Amino acid sequence: MVSCSVIVGEVANFVAYAFAPAVLVTPLGALSIIVSAVLADIILKEKLHKLGILGCIMCIAGSIIIVINAPKEVPITSVLQIWNMATQPVCTKMWTYQCASLYRHLFVDGLTLCDECQSTWNFFEINF
């Protein structure tokens, strides 16, 4: 029963992206975590502490702020329009930062794995 509800929920989430912009669907979909926390408090009698309640309130407030201030969606009509959006200075700076950060983590600082992950990595490195 649980797997069926998860599948239905994911299909509904996928359909929502077809009818509404991602800037609206994503924060509203993230509220499912809040609903789960509240239902666990009510149904399973799990104690939701003050910081948990504060976190839930902040997530709800953040979702409301994002939805209220969401930009109007403009239909994209050409690949050139996508290219122009991707090469705007803010987007270019973000991609440059992400690439530099990834390079630093992988090659400068070195990739570190937890003990369990390291032993799994060693197993595959030796056996394959």
What phi and psi, each to the nearest 5 degrees, are found at residue 76? -90, 130
Sign of CA dihedral 70, 72, 78, 80: negative
What phi and psi, each to the nearest 5 degrees, are found at residue 125? -70, -40
What's the pLDDT at 124? Answer: 60
What is the tens place of the pLDDT at every residue in 90-104?
Answer: 767 777 888 888 777
Q: How confident is the model at residue 89 (pLDDT cuts 50, 70, 90)?
A: confident
> Which long-range contacts link 9-14 to residues 24+ away (Cβ below 8 Å)?
none
What is the tens place of the pLDDT at every residue in 34-68?
Answer: 888 888 888 988 888 888 888 889 988 988 888 88
Residue with tokens 């839930």: 56
What phi and psi, each to the nearest 5 degrees, are found at residue 50? -60, -40
Residue with tokens 């201030």: 69
pTM of the predicted model as reported, rounded to 2 decimal places: 0.49
